[in-house]
Structure 1
């Protein structure tokens, strides 16, 4: 009985770690999308620091995040990329999100 219990306990722990990692990745991606959206809004109204807005929204993830703001014609685009790390494995991927909006002065 103890061998079966040990194997079962390890299996449950691995599945639990996987679920926690996936939920964490979803939260990081949600934060990246919110940061991209807020930075795009800031850039569309002519704000002075859309990158700073994105970094403030990202909070503790800001140190390792990458934020890119670009504009073409009447559009502004913000790309945010944040490394996703899983406890014990380190960085396992990137959470990316892009927001694109019209410049406010371009709207008739």
Structure 2
């Protein structure tokens, strides 16, 4: 189930988003300006589209993954290939941007 998360997610929301990948992973699109995420799509592009429809700007949206069991953040996605933004690979190259994304993801998805 694809959800837009604006405040701390509930365990139920995380489970719903993780259903697509059998609870192992949640594909995300993270708006680093609005500090919100869309998660649970089959593709990062599905999540990106949900944020675009919600008013986000494409230049502010980056793809990531959340692994609920290990509470790890991944930074690899096809939507991250952006030569015009100095990111030429699927992996986010800018360390500051990675840290910002990780902070947003942990704030919204790390359930105690």
Q: Which has the larger radius of gyration?
A: 1
Taking structure 2 as the reference length, the TM-score comes to 0.29
